[in-house]
Structure 1
C-alpha cells in the first residue's frame, strides 16, 4: 500500500499532511538541492501542549478543539452536543461521550452514506472474480478492482482509502493463488480435497505420513462454519464444557480447609492441588464409617469423581465428533453444488475485503471518540483540586498518626512528622 500511495502521490502531484508536499524549485535551490525528505515534510507527531489557565482553573481551550476541525466540518451539529459554548474555554456537556457521538444525526448520516457506497461491493467482487474466474487476467483484474475501490472513496472524508487498499491487496494474494489453480484445473478444483501430509517420527526417523484431508482450495474450517454449522456448534459446545472442568476442580479444592485436606490426603496429590481420582472411591468408603461427620467431604469427593467421569465422556465424544466432522467436511466439499461453490468462494474471497473495508468507519469513530475522551480528562482535575486532595490526605494521615502509641521518643518523631504534613 505504501508503494501504491507513493506512485499515486507522485503521479497526482499531491500535497498530503505529514506525507508529501509540492515544493518549488526555488525552495530546493535554497536548500542547496538537498532532497532529504524531512527538510520538506514534517512527519513527526504533534507535541502535547498544556494550557496554563485550563490547568489551573479547568475547562477545555477552544483552541484545542480546532485540532478536530476536520470532524466538525463533517459532523457540524456534533460540537454543540459535546461541549458548552464559550469564546475561549468550554466544558463537556454530556456524561456519555461515546453515545453522544454515535447517536449524532450527522454521524449517523455519514455512516449511512459510507455503508450505502459499499453496499454492493460483495456482489461486485463476486461478479468480477467468481463469475469470470476461468478467463480473467489475474494481474489486470487486481489493478481494475483496486482502481474501482479508490473511486468508491471519492467524496468520503475522514477515511484513508489506502487502508482499504491494504486490506484488498493482502486478501488478493490468496485470491490470486486460488484463481491460478481454478484456471489450470477448472472449477472442479474447488470440489477437490487432498491428503494432508505431515512429518512424523517413525522408527526414530522423520517420515511423511497422511494425517486426514485438506481442501485443495476451500479450508475445512470455512466449510464447517458455512455448511456444517450445527455439527460445529455441537463440537464447540462440548469443547467449551471440557475447558470449564479445570476451574470446577479448583473450586472444589478451594472449598477444602487444611484439616479437610489432611483427612482426605490419599485422594490428593503431594502438593494438595489436584485430586488423585483412582483413590477417591476408597477414601469415600473410609469416610462413610463416620458418615455424619464427613458428609460434606464425601459430597466434595463425589463431585470430583463426577467431574472426572464427565471429563472422560466429553473427551471421547469430542474425539468421535471431530473425526466424524472431518470426514463429513470432506464429503461436503466433494459434493458441493454450483450455488454452494459460489457462496463459499464469496466467504473466502469477497467477505474479508467487505468486512475489513466497512470496519474502517467504526475504527475512525473509535479513534475520534478516544481522542475526545482523552481531551475531556486532560483538564478535568485542576491544580486546585490536586492541592485540595493533598491537604485532605495529609489531614487524614495526621489523624491516623494521632491514634498511634509508643515510647516517648517514638511519639516525638510522630509529632514532628505531623508538623511536616501540616497536622
Structure 2
C-alpha cells in the first residue's frame, strides 16, 4: 500500500519533534533533510544498475537501521553519510549535520535513544512503493519540511525559503513557451534552497538547464539536495557571493547570458557592495546607475538584467520601496523604464515572507520587446490572500488570477491596468502602485433624504444591478415605489421569497448544470485512472476545465469555485489519486490495520474496530458503503438513536425538575450533584421500606417520580445496548463487504459518492451564498431607512414626556 502524502508529512514532522529542544529549527532541518535524502536515494538507487547516485556498500539507509540502540550510533551515522558523500562528490552538501554532537543531541543514552527513534520514524516511511520522480512525492515532502522550518525559524532564518505560492507566480509570469528546448537556461543568482528554480523548470514541458548561485553554505547544501529530490540531478549550483564573485561567465569573461532568470534576493541588503568595485565593475552592471551603498535591491536587479540574453525574461521579488524611493534609485528606475526593460509590476500582500513582514512586489523584466514597449502593466494583488497562522498565504485562486491577468494583460477595475509610459513620466517615474490603481472598496454612502423621509433610495437598489440582470422580475416583486426615487419592501419574508423565486431557482439549477457538464465530461477520465498516472497532470486538467466552464456562471466568481476544487484536492482527493496511481482501484478493497509499538499511541483515528483490531480505510470510508449498501440497517440504528435521545432528554428534564431543595430526586444525587442509577435504587428501596400507613402523599409522589426516573434509566440503557449491538452487526457487514467490492463498485463509490457528492455540496453552498448576500444587503438597506427622522423625533419626544411624568411623580411623592 502506497504511503499517503499526508501520512508522509506527518511522519516527517514527527522526526522533527524528536530534535526539538536541543536546537533551532534552522539547525535541526539539516538532520531531518539529510535523513530524508539518504532514505530517498537508498530506496531509489540502492542495488540498481547505472544509478544517478551510487549507494556504496555500508552507505544505505538499511545500515542506519542496524545502528538503532548502538552506543556509538552518532559517530557511525556520520560515517555512513560520509561514505555516501565521498562516493558522489557530495562532500560539504549532505554531511553538514553532525549526528555525534552532544550539545545538540544529548549525551550517552539520551543521544542513543533520540537517534534510534529518529531512524525508526524514517524506517517506517515506505518510499519504495512510491514513484520518487514523475509527480515529486518526495520533492513535495521536502518542500513541506522547508516551509515548516522557515515558519519555525523566525525572522532571521526564514530567508532560505521562498513560499511555494509566490514561487509559482514568479515562474508562471515568465510565460515560458511550451516549445522551449531543454537546453534553454534559467538562472537564480541568490537561489537559496532552489525552490524558485524548480518552479520555473516545472513550467517548461521539456525542462530547462538550471544554474544557481548561493553564498550561504548550509543553504547551498539544501539547494543541492533539493535538486536531487525533485529529480533535477544535473542542475548546477555554485557556492559564492554573486555580486562580488559571479561564477557563471562566458568564455570572454563577461557574465553568462541566460534565457530566463528569477530571484528573491535578501531585501535591502546592506553589505552588498563588499568586494564590488562599483566605479570600475568589470561586468559593467551599473551603467544605469550605482545603487545606494547601504541598499542592494537594485544591485541584484541590475545584475540580473545584465545576465539576460537579448530576448531574456526575468521575474524578481523585491520590497515595495524600489518602486518609489528617491535619489540614486530614482535614477536607476527612470533609466529602466525609459529603456522599456520593465514589462510589469505585481504588488503582493503583506506578511507573505518568512524573513520579513513588509509587502513585496514582483518586477517582471523582458528584453525582447523593450524597444517597442509603450506601457507598463500593473497589478495590485495585495488583498488576495488567506491567513495561515501568523503569516499570510496566497490561495490557488489568487495565484491563478494574478497569472491569468498578467499574462493576458487584462484590465480589471481596482485590480489591474496598463499604464502608459507618458503617465509614468508625468509622475516622475514613481511606480508606487496606488498612484495608478485605486484598490479601495467604494464607500457605502447614506441617503440623507431617505433618513429624513423614509424609503429605500433607488440608487441603492440600482447598485445591485448585477443581481437584477439575472433576476429581472425579482426587483419588481420585492419593491414598491412610495414616492419618486424611493421604495419600500412589498414582501415581509423577503429572504424566503428570494430563495424560492423562480428566477433564483433557475439560477441555482443553471449553475449546477455547468458543474454537472464538467463532472460528466471527466467521468471517463477519472474511471481510467491507472497505476503510473500523474496526479498533478490530472488535477491540472480538471481544475482548468472547471475554471473555464464556470466562467459562464452568472454572479459567481469562477476563481472561487476553482478554489473549492483545489482545497478539496489538497485535503482529500490528492491522497486518493496518489493511492490509485500506486495501487490501482484494487486499493479500494484494502483495510489497513493500525499497529503501534508497545508504549506508543495511535496517530490515526480508526474507521472500523473489529474486536481488538483497528482498521483504516484509506480510499473508501465505511460511511459510503453504509449509505449505498446498508442504508436500511443504518436507518434502524438512527431510529434507535432517536428513541434513545428522546429518552435521554426526558430523563434530563425529569432530573432537572426534581432536584434542588426539597426535590424528589435530590437524595439520589452524588456529592457532585449527579443523579445515578445506584443512588436511585437505594432511595426507592428506602421509600418502599416505610410502613404503608406511615407513607404520606408526598412520599408516595416521591416514590412514583423515582420509579419513573429509574424506568427511564433502564430504557436508556436498553436502547444503548441495542444501538451498540446493531452497530457492531453493521460494522461486521461493512468489514465483510470491502474484499468483495468489484472494480466498478469501487469507482462508483469513489467518483460519484465521495468526490462528486462532496464537490457538488461545496458548489451548491457557494451558489446559495449569492442569494444570501442579496438578502443580507436588502435587509441592511431596509433596517437603515426603516425609521425616518420625524418618527425618531416623535419617539424621543414621547419617551422624554414619560420621563418628565416620572420625575413629577417623584417630586409629589417626596
| TM-score, reference length from structure 1 | 0.83
Q: Of the candidates 418, 438, 445, which is equivalent to residue 22 of structure 1?
A: 418
Describe the shift of the 1:132–1:324 C-alpha distance in structure 2 as closer, same or farther (beyond 3 A): same
Cα RMSD (Å): 3.0
Contact 1:81 1:100 in 2 (8 A): no
Give yes or no for contact 2:451–2:789 (8 Å, CA) kept in 1: yes
1:381 equivalent in alignment to 2:782: no
Q: Among 560, 574, 581, which residue is 1:176 paired with?
A: 574
Task: Give deviations 1:254-307, integer Å, cap 9, x for gaps.
Answer: 43376643x765423346553433423313314673456133222210111112
Which residue does 2:771 correspond to in 1?
365
Q: Using the alignment, how far apart are the partners of 2:700 and 2:582 within structure 1?
A: 72
CA contact (8 A) 1:277 1:308 kept: no
Structure 2 SS opposite 1:213: strand
Partner of 1:93: 490
1:23-422 paired onto structure 2 within 5 Å: 23-85=419-481, 87-134=484-531, 136-173=533-570, 174-197=572-595, 205-206=599-600, 211-256=613-658, 260-261=662-663, 265-270=666-671, 274-275=675-676, 276-286=679-689, 289=692, 290-291=694-695, 293=697, 294-345=699-750, 346-399=752-805, 411=813
Secondary structure of the residue aligned to 1:22 is: strand
2: CA distance between counterparts of 1:71 and 1:187? 45
1:344-390 Cα offsets, whole Å, 9 max, x none, are 11222222223322332211111111111211221011122222222
Deviations 1:52-93 (A, max 9, x none): 111111011222223212122232222222222464322222
Distance apart, 1:211 and its partner CA: 4.5
1:38 Cα deviation from its structure 2 partner: 3.5
Q: Is the 8 A contact 1:287 1:298 kept in 2?
A: no
Q: Is the 8 A contact 2:518 2:545 kept in 1?
A: no
Work out the CA distance in 2 between the residues paired with 1:279 and 1:298. 11
Whichever structure has more helix as a proportion of its residues is 1
Consecutive unaligned residues in structure 2, runs of 5 or more? 1-396, 604-611
Verify: 1:3 aligned to 2:399, yes or no: yes
The structure with higher relative contact order (CA 8 Å, sep 6+) is 1
Report if the CA contact (8 A) 1:190-1:217 is conserved.
yes
Superimposed CA distance per residue, residues 310-359 of structure 1 (whole angstroms, 9 cap, x where no aligned partner):
23223333333333333322211211123321221122222222332233
Query: What is the match of residue 420 of structure 1?
Result: none
Task: Measure, in 2, the Cα distance between the counterparts of 1:220 and 1:115.
Answer: 28
- Say which SS state the counterpart of residue 91 (structure 1) adopts: strand
CA distance 1:295–1:35, change in 2 (3 Å): farther
Query: SS of the counterpart of 2:403?
Result: helix
- Runs of 5+ in structure 1 lacking a partner? 413-423
Deviates more, 1:125-134 or 1:345-354: 125-134
Following the alignment from structure 1 to structure 2, what is the Cα–Cα distance between the partners of residues 167 and 272? Answer: 48
Distance in structure 1 (CA, Å) of the matches to 2:465 and 2:784: 19
SS in 1 for 2:727: helix
Q: Determine helix, strand or coil for the equivalent of 2:418.
A: coil
Aligned length: 403
Deviates more, 1:21-30 or 1:60-69: 21-30
1:114-148 CA-to-partner distances (Å, cap 9, x unmatched) read 23333333333322212344464322222222222
Instruction: Compute the displacement of 1:168 (Å).
Output: 1.1
